[in-house]
Amino acid sequence: MSYYVALDVGGSKVLGALFDAKGKIIATKKVKTFAARGTDFVYQQIKLVIDTLLEGRKKVKGIGVIVPGIVLNHDYVEFCPNVPFDHFPLGMLLREEYAMPVALGNDVSLAVYGEWKSYDRPVDHAVGLFVGTGVGGGLILDRKLYTGQGGGGELGHMVLVAHGAGCGCGNEGCLEAYAGKAGLLRRLKAAQTRGRESLLYDYLKSDGSMITSEAFRTCYEAGDELALELIDQASYYLGLAVANFINMLHPELFIFGGGIMESLHPVMLPRIKQVAKNNAMPALGTNLEFSMSRLGDNAGIVGSFYQIYEMVNHA
Protein backbone atom coordinates (compact mmCIF):
# COMPACT_ATOMS: atom_id res chain seq x y z
CA MET A 1 0.00 0.00 0.00
CA SER A 2 1.29 3.48 -0.87
CA TYR A 3 0.57 6.67 1.10
CA TYR A 4 0.10 10.39 0.43
CA VAL A 5 0.39 13.48 2.62
CA ALA A 6 -2.06 16.38 2.23
CA LEU A 7 -1.76 19.75 4.01
CA ASP A 8 -4.17 22.63 4.48
CA VAL A 9 -2.12 25.75 5.29
CA GLY A 10 -4.51 28.35 6.73
CA GLY A 11 -4.00 31.75 8.34
CA SER A 12 -4.30 30.31 11.86
CA LYS A 13 -3.47 26.58 11.58
CA VAL A 14 -1.68 24.03 9.43
CA LEU A 15 -3.71 20.83 9.22
CA GLY A 16 -2.05 17.74 7.75
CA ALA A 17 -3.23 14.21 7.09
CA LEU A 18 -1.68 10.98 5.91
CA PHE A 19 -3.90 9.17 3.41
CA ASP A 20 -3.73 5.64 2.11
CA ALA A 21 -4.15 5.10 -1.65
CA LYS A 22 -7.89 4.59 -1.20
CA GLY A 23 -8.33 8.04 0.32
CA LYS A 24 -8.70 6.94 3.92
CA ILE A 25 -7.14 9.17 6.59
CA ILE A 26 -4.57 7.18 8.61
CA ALA A 27 -3.13 9.94 10.79
CA THR A 28 -3.46 13.70 11.29
CA LYS A 29 -1.29 16.46 12.70
CA LYS A 30 -2.20 20.07 13.43
CA VAL A 31 -0.01 23.01 14.46
CA LYS A 32 -0.49 26.78 14.64
CA THR A 33 0.64 28.68 11.54
CA PHE A 34 2.09 31.70 13.41
CA ALA A 35 1.64 33.74 10.22
CA ALA A 36 2.85 36.93 11.95
CA ARG A 37 6.31 35.35 12.48
CA GLY A 38 7.04 35.44 8.77
CA THR A 39 7.66 33.24 5.76
CA ASP A 40 10.54 31.12 7.09
CA PHE A 41 8.76 30.33 10.33
CA VAL A 42 5.60 29.23 8.51
CA TYR A 43 7.71 27.08 6.17
CA GLN A 44 9.24 25.36 9.23
CA GLN A 45 5.74 24.73 10.64
CA ILE A 46 4.76 23.08 7.33
CA LYS A 47 7.87 20.86 7.46
CA LEU A 48 7.10 19.95 11.08
CA VAL A 49 3.68 18.64 10.05
CA ILE A 50 5.09 16.73 7.06
CA ASP A 51 7.97 15.24 9.10
CA THR A 52 5.54 14.05 11.78
CA LEU A 53 3.29 12.37 9.21
CA LEU A 54 6.23 10.81 7.31
CA GLU A 55 7.94 9.39 10.41
CA GLY A 56 8.83 5.76 9.86
CA ARG A 57 6.93 5.44 6.57
CA LYS A 58 8.80 4.58 3.41
CA LYS A 59 6.00 4.30 0.90
CA VAL A 60 4.83 7.91 0.76
CA LYS A 61 4.49 8.85 -2.92
CA GLY A 62 3.66 12.54 -2.87
CA ILE A 63 2.62 15.66 -0.98
CA GLY A 64 -0.39 17.89 -1.70
CA VAL A 65 -0.57 21.39 -0.20
CA ILE A 66 -3.43 23.89 -0.33
CA VAL A 67 -3.24 27.58 0.61
CA PRO A 68 -5.84 30.37 0.88
CA GLY A 69 -4.39 32.26 -2.06
CA ILE A 70 -3.55 32.26 -5.73
CA VAL A 71 -1.50 29.38 -7.10
CA LEU A 72 -0.67 29.51 -10.81
CA ASN A 73 1.31 26.25 -11.01
CA HIS A 74 2.75 23.62 -8.68
CA ASP A 75 5.94 25.62 -8.01
CA TYR A 76 4.93 28.96 -6.48
CA VAL A 77 2.33 30.49 -4.18
CA GLU A 78 1.80 33.82 -5.96
CA PHE A 79 -0.34 35.73 -3.52
CA CYS A 80 -1.78 34.81 -0.15
CA PRO A 81 -3.40 37.54 1.98
CA ASN A 82 -3.40 35.69 5.34
CA VAL A 83 -0.18 33.66 5.05
CA PRO A 84 3.15 35.44 4.39
CA PHE A 85 3.75 33.84 0.97
CA ASP A 86 4.41 36.29 -1.86
CA HIS A 87 5.67 34.59 -5.03
CA PHE A 88 7.11 32.00 -2.63
CA PRO A 89 8.54 28.79 -4.22
CA LEU A 90 6.78 26.47 -1.74
CA GLY A 91 6.31 23.64 -4.24
CA MET A 92 9.91 23.77 -5.48
CA LEU A 93 11.33 23.83 -1.94
CA LEU A 94 9.22 20.90 -0.71
CA ARG A 95 9.98 18.86 -3.85
CA GLU A 96 13.70 19.35 -3.25
CA GLU A 97 13.46 18.74 0.51
CA TYR A 98 11.47 15.49 0.33
CA ALA A 99 12.46 14.22 -3.15
CA MET A 100 8.90 13.42 -4.18
CA PRO A 101 6.12 15.01 -6.30
CA VAL A 102 4.36 18.02 -4.77
CA ALA A 103 1.01 19.49 -5.90
CA LEU A 104 -0.08 23.00 -4.88
CA GLY A 105 -3.64 24.27 -5.01
CA ASN A 106 -6.12 26.86 -3.81
CA ASP A 107 -7.90 25.78 -0.62
CA VAL A 108 -11.49 26.37 -1.73
CA SER A 109 -11.02 25.05 -5.28
CA LEU A 110 -9.64 21.83 -3.83
CA ALA A 111 -12.37 21.71 -1.17
CA VAL A 112 -14.91 21.81 -3.99
CA TYR A 113 -12.93 19.10 -5.77
CA GLY A 114 -12.98 16.95 -2.60
CA GLU A 115 -16.73 17.44 -2.19
CA TRP A 116 -17.35 16.65 -5.86
CA LYS A 117 -15.22 13.48 -5.65
CA SER A 118 -17.17 12.39 -2.56
CA TYR A 119 -20.65 13.22 -3.94
CA ASP A 120 -23.38 10.53 -4.02
CA ARG A 121 -23.22 10.00 -7.75
CA PRO A 122 -20.98 10.98 -10.67
CA VAL A 123 -21.69 14.52 -11.90
CA ASP A 124 -20.03 16.07 -14.97
CA HIS A 125 -20.33 19.78 -14.13
CA ALA A 126 -20.46 21.35 -10.66
CA VAL A 127 -19.98 24.79 -9.09
CA GLY A 128 -18.99 25.20 -5.43
CA LEU A 129 -19.49 28.34 -3.34
CA PHE A 130 -18.06 28.47 0.19
CA VAL A 131 -19.40 31.39 2.19
CA GLY A 132 -17.27 32.08 5.24
CA THR A 133 -15.28 35.19 6.13
CA GLY A 134 -14.90 35.62 2.39
CA VAL A 135 -16.55 33.79 -0.49
CA GLY A 136 -14.42 31.19 -2.25
CA GLY A 137 -15.36 28.87 -5.02
CA GLY A 138 -14.41 26.18 -7.43
CA LEU A 139 -15.48 24.92 -10.83
CA ILE A 140 -15.66 21.33 -11.99
CA LEU A 141 -16.17 21.28 -15.76
CA ASP A 142 -16.21 18.08 -17.82
CA ARG A 143 -15.19 16.16 -14.68
CA LYS A 144 -12.04 18.25 -14.16
CA LEU A 145 -11.14 21.00 -11.73
CA TYR A 146 -11.06 24.10 -13.92
CA THR A 147 -8.55 26.86 -13.09
CA GLY A 148 -7.89 28.38 -16.52
CA GLN A 149 -4.23 29.43 -16.58
CA GLY A 150 -3.96 28.40 -12.93
CA GLY A 151 -5.69 31.05 -10.81
CA GLY A 152 -9.28 30.76 -12.07
CA GLY A 153 -12.14 30.02 -9.70
CA GLU A 154 -12.21 33.24 -7.64
CA LEU A 155 -15.99 33.11 -7.81
CA GLY A 156 -16.52 35.38 -4.79
CA HIS A 157 -15.10 38.30 -6.74
CA MET A 158 -17.74 38.17 -9.45
CA VAL A 159 -18.83 41.82 -9.66
CA LEU A 160 -22.60 42.00 -9.15
CA VAL A 161 -23.14 45.70 -8.36
CA ALA A 162 -21.50 48.48 -10.41
CA HIS A 163 -19.75 50.90 -8.00
CA GLY A 164 -21.13 48.75 -5.14
CA ALA A 165 -19.88 47.97 -1.62
CA GLY A 166 -16.11 47.84 -1.04
CA CYS A 167 -14.55 44.36 -1.09
CA GLY A 168 -11.46 42.99 0.69
CA CYS A 169 -9.83 42.53 -2.74
CA GLY A 170 -9.81 46.29 -3.31
CA ASN A 171 -12.59 46.22 -5.90
CA GLU A 172 -16.24 47.24 -5.47
CA GLY A 173 -19.51 45.35 -5.73
CA CYS A 174 -18.12 41.78 -5.52
CA LEU A 175 -20.36 38.93 -4.34
CA GLU A 176 -18.03 38.56 -1.33
CA ALA A 177 -18.76 42.15 -0.20
CA TYR A 178 -22.46 41.23 0.19
CA ALA A 179 -22.37 37.59 1.28
CA GLY A 180 -19.05 37.04 3.11
CA LYS A 181 -18.86 37.54 6.87
CA ALA A 182 -16.27 40.34 6.61
CA GLY A 183 -18.63 42.18 4.25
CA LEU A 184 -21.62 41.57 6.53
CA LEU A 185 -19.55 42.89 9.45
CA ARG A 186 -18.74 46.10 7.54
CA ARG A 187 -22.42 46.67 6.81
CA LEU A 188 -23.33 45.87 10.40
CA LYS A 189 -20.91 48.46 11.74
CA ALA A 190 -22.13 51.06 9.26
CA ALA A 191 -25.68 50.44 10.57
CA GLN A 192 -24.42 50.80 14.14
CA THR A 193 -22.78 54.13 13.27
CA ARG A 194 -26.10 55.33 11.82
CA GLY A 195 -27.71 54.50 15.17
CA ARG A 196 -29.82 51.58 13.98
CA GLU A 197 -30.88 49.08 16.64
CA SER A 198 -29.91 45.41 16.49
CA LEU A 199 -29.16 42.45 18.74
CA LEU A 200 -26.16 41.68 16.54
CA TYR A 201 -23.99 44.35 18.23
CA ASP A 202 -24.01 42.27 21.44
CA TYR A 203 -22.17 39.51 19.58
CA LEU A 204 -19.33 41.63 18.17
CA LYS A 205 -15.91 40.71 19.48
CA SER A 206 -14.85 43.36 22.02
CA ASP A 207 -12.60 45.13 19.48
CA GLY A 208 -15.36 44.92 16.85
CA SER A 209 -13.12 42.87 14.54
CA MET A 210 -15.31 39.77 14.15
CA ILE A 211 -18.68 38.12 14.69
CA THR A 212 -19.53 34.44 14.45
CA SER A 213 -21.85 32.82 11.91
CA GLU A 214 -23.85 31.42 14.86
CA ALA A 215 -24.49 34.99 16.08
CA PHE A 216 -26.19 35.73 12.77
CA ARG A 217 -28.32 32.60 13.17
CA THR A 218 -29.26 33.40 16.78
CA CYS A 219 -30.30 36.97 15.88
CA TYR A 220 -32.05 35.80 12.71
CA GLU A 221 -34.08 33.29 14.73
CA ALA A 222 -34.90 36.00 17.29
CA GLY A 223 -36.41 38.03 14.44
CA ASP A 224 -33.82 40.81 14.60
CA GLU A 225 -34.61 43.10 11.65
CA LEU A 226 -31.03 43.94 10.71
CA ALA A 227 -30.03 40.25 10.83
CA LEU A 228 -33.01 39.37 8.59
CA GLU A 229 -32.08 42.14 6.16
CA LEU A 230 -28.37 41.25 5.95
CA ILE A 231 -29.00 37.52 5.52
CA ASP A 232 -31.74 38.12 2.96
CA GLN A 233 -29.40 40.39 1.03
CA ALA A 234 -26.56 37.84 1.19
CA SER A 235 -28.96 35.16 -0.12
CA TYR A 236 -30.18 37.50 -2.87
CA TYR A 237 -26.68 38.17 -4.20
CA LEU A 238 -25.73 34.49 -3.93
CA GLY A 239 -28.88 33.77 -5.96
CA LEU A 240 -27.85 36.28 -8.61
CA ALA A 241 -24.39 34.71 -8.79
CA VAL A 242 -25.96 31.25 -9.17
CA ALA A 243 -28.17 32.59 -12.00
CA ASN A 244 -25.03 33.85 -13.75
CA PHE A 245 -23.32 30.47 -13.34
CA ILE A 246 -26.39 28.69 -14.69
CA ASN A 247 -26.45 30.92 -17.79
CA MET A 248 -22.69 30.74 -18.26
CA LEU A 249 -21.98 27.07 -17.52
CA HIS A 250 -25.29 25.19 -17.18
CA PRO A 251 -23.91 22.93 -14.42
CA GLU A 252 -25.85 20.07 -12.81
CA LEU A 253 -24.81 20.64 -9.22
CA PHE A 254 -24.19 23.55 -6.85
CA ILE A 255 -22.30 22.72 -3.65
CA PHE A 256 -22.47 25.19 -0.75
CA GLY A 257 -20.28 25.33 2.32
CA GLY A 258 -18.56 27.72 4.75
CA GLY A 259 -19.63 28.99 8.19
CA ILE A 260 -22.44 31.31 7.06
CA MET A 261 -24.07 28.61 4.91
CA GLU A 262 -23.53 25.89 7.55
CA SER A 263 -25.33 28.05 10.13
CA LEU A 264 -28.08 29.50 7.93
CA HIS A 265 -28.70 27.13 5.00
CA PRO A 266 -32.27 26.28 6.08
CA VAL A 267 -33.27 29.89 5.39
CA MET A 268 -30.67 30.83 2.76
CA LEU A 269 -30.88 27.90 0.34
CA PRO A 270 -34.60 28.29 -0.53
CA ARG A 271 -34.08 32.03 -1.14
CA ILE A 272 -30.94 31.41 -3.25
CA LYS A 273 -32.83 28.89 -5.40
CA GLN A 274 -35.80 31.24 -5.85
CA VAL A 275 -33.62 34.22 -6.90
CA ALA A 276 -31.57 31.97 -9.21
CA LYS A 277 -34.72 30.64 -10.85
CA ASN A 278 -36.11 34.15 -11.33
CA ASN A 279 -32.91 35.40 -12.95
CA ALA A 280 -31.57 32.48 -14.99
CA MET A 281 -32.78 31.74 -18.51
CA PRO A 282 -35.86 29.56 -17.94
CA ALA A 283 -34.75 26.83 -20.35
CA LEU A 284 -31.51 26.39 -18.36
CA GLY A 285 -33.08 26.43 -14.91
CA THR A 286 -34.23 22.83 -14.81
CA ASN A 287 -32.53 19.66 -13.62
CA LEU A 288 -30.30 21.42 -11.06
CA GLU A 289 -29.21 19.99 -7.72
CA PHE A 290 -28.25 22.03 -4.68
CA SER A 291 -26.22 20.34 -1.96
CA MET A 292 -24.52 21.32 1.27
CA SER A 293 -20.89 20.35 1.91
CA ARG A 294 -20.56 16.87 3.45
CA LEU A 295 -16.87 16.82 4.41
CA GLY A 296 -16.77 19.98 6.56
CA ASP A 297 -13.24 21.04 7.55
CA ASN A 298 -11.70 18.02 5.81
CA ALA A 299 -12.95 18.94 2.31
CA GLY A 300 -9.73 20.77 1.40
CA ILE A 301 -7.28 18.03 2.41
CA VAL A 302 -9.46 15.38 0.75
CA GLY A 303 -9.36 17.40 -2.49
CA SER A 304 -5.62 17.91 -2.07
CA PHE A 305 -5.16 14.15 -1.61
CA TYR A 306 -7.00 13.47 -4.90
CA GLN A 307 -4.91 16.10 -6.67
CA ILE A 308 -1.55 14.61 -5.63
CA TYR A 309 -2.84 11.03 -6.08
CA GLU A 310 -3.87 11.81 -9.65
CA MET A 311 -0.61 13.62 -10.39
CA VAL A 312 1.48 10.66 -9.17
CA ASN A 313 -0.67 8.00 -10.85
CA HIS A 314 -1.49 9.99 -14.03
CA ALA A 315 -5.13 9.19 -13.30
Contact residues: Zn ion, CB under 5 A? 157, 167, 169, 171, 174
* Cβ-based nearer residue to Zn ion, 109 or 304: 109
Residue 142 CB, nearest distance to Zn ion (Å)?
Answer: 27
Radius of gyration of the chain (CA): 20
DSSP 239-265: HHHHHHHHHHH--SEEEEESHHHHHHH
Sequence-distant (≥ 6) Cβ neighbours of residue 86 within 8 angstroms: 78, 79, 80
Q: Please report which helix (H) or strand (E) contains residue 227, including its range.
A: helix 225-249
Among candidates 309, 312, 314, which has minimal Cα distance to 6? 309
Residue 283's Cβ-count burial label (10 Å; 0-12, 13-18, 19+) is: exposed
Pick between residue 160 and residue 167 the one whose CB is nearest to Zn ion.
167
Pairing state of beta strands 289-292 and 253-257?
A: parallel
Nearer to Zn ion, 161 or 249 (CB): 161
- Kindly report the number of other CB atoms within 10 A of residue 147's CB atom: 19
Complex with Zn ion: residue 169 or 311, whichever CB lies closer = 169
Residue 69: closest CA among 44, 94, 87: 87
Closest distance to Zn ion from the beta carbon of 177 (Å): 6
From CA 252, how far away is CA 30, in angstroms rounded?
A: 35
Nearer CB in complex with Zn ion: 81/89: 81
CB of 171 to Zn ion, least distance (A): 5
CB of 103 to Zn ion, least distance (A): 26
CB of 170 to Zn ion, least distance (A): 7
Q: Are the C-beta atoms of 218 and 231 separated by less than 8 Å?
A: no
Cα 184 versus chain centre, distance: 17
CB of 179 to Zn ion, least distance (A): 11
CA distance 133 to 211: 10
> Can you tell me the distance from the alpha carbon of 165 to that of 163, in angstroms, rounded to the nearest whole number?
7
**Minimum distance of Zn ion from residue 136's CB (angstroms):** 11
Select 183 or 303, whichever has its Cβ closest to Zn ion. 183
Nearer to Zn ion, 5 or 167 (CB): 167
